Amino acid sequence: MKKILILLSLVFASALHAQEWQTSFSDAVSKATEENKPIVLVFSGSDWCAPCIRLKKHIFDSDEFKAYALEHYVLYNADFPRKKQNQLPEPLLNANKSLIEKYNPKGYFPLVVVLDKNEKVLGETGFVARSTPEKYIATLNKFIK
């Protein structure tokens, strides 16, 4: 019984710290509509874009951002890896290409676009040197009003 309680505690604790990145943009839109939350759409090159890697490491992977995002945003990462071993499945790559055509036609990386639940652009930002999770959250929230 004690082992079960410990196991359940660990599962619950990890769930609290989990950051839910949606696996498809359509899932993100559905969840945003259902939960009345904005979508944070991130365009990244996870294995070649140094600012993208730093943004993920210092902001998105921080406990502070994870906890806040879980309650306030729906997250989707439109990733464009270049290394062969990191290539995305064709349908996902094509979906991300459609997103880049619509929301990032200049091809900036990283680009973080905040959308409302109806897919209307509220604002965009990128990598900000020396930013903190708190400052980055404040920047995203300025777009939401």
Structural domains of the chain ordered from first start: 23-144 (3.40.30.10)
Q: What confidence tens digit (pLDDT) does each residue in 68-103 have?
A: 999 999 999 999 999 999 999 999 999 999 999 999
Complete DSSP assignment for 95-120: HHHHHHHHH-TT--SSEEEEE-TT--
Q: Tell me, what's the pLDDT at 18?
A: 55
Q: Please provide residue 104's backbone torsions phi and psi, each rounded to the nearest 5 degrees.
A: -145, 55
pTM, full prediction: 0.87
C-alpha span between 20 and 77 (Å, rounded): 11
C-alpha span between 79 and 92 (Å, rounded): 9
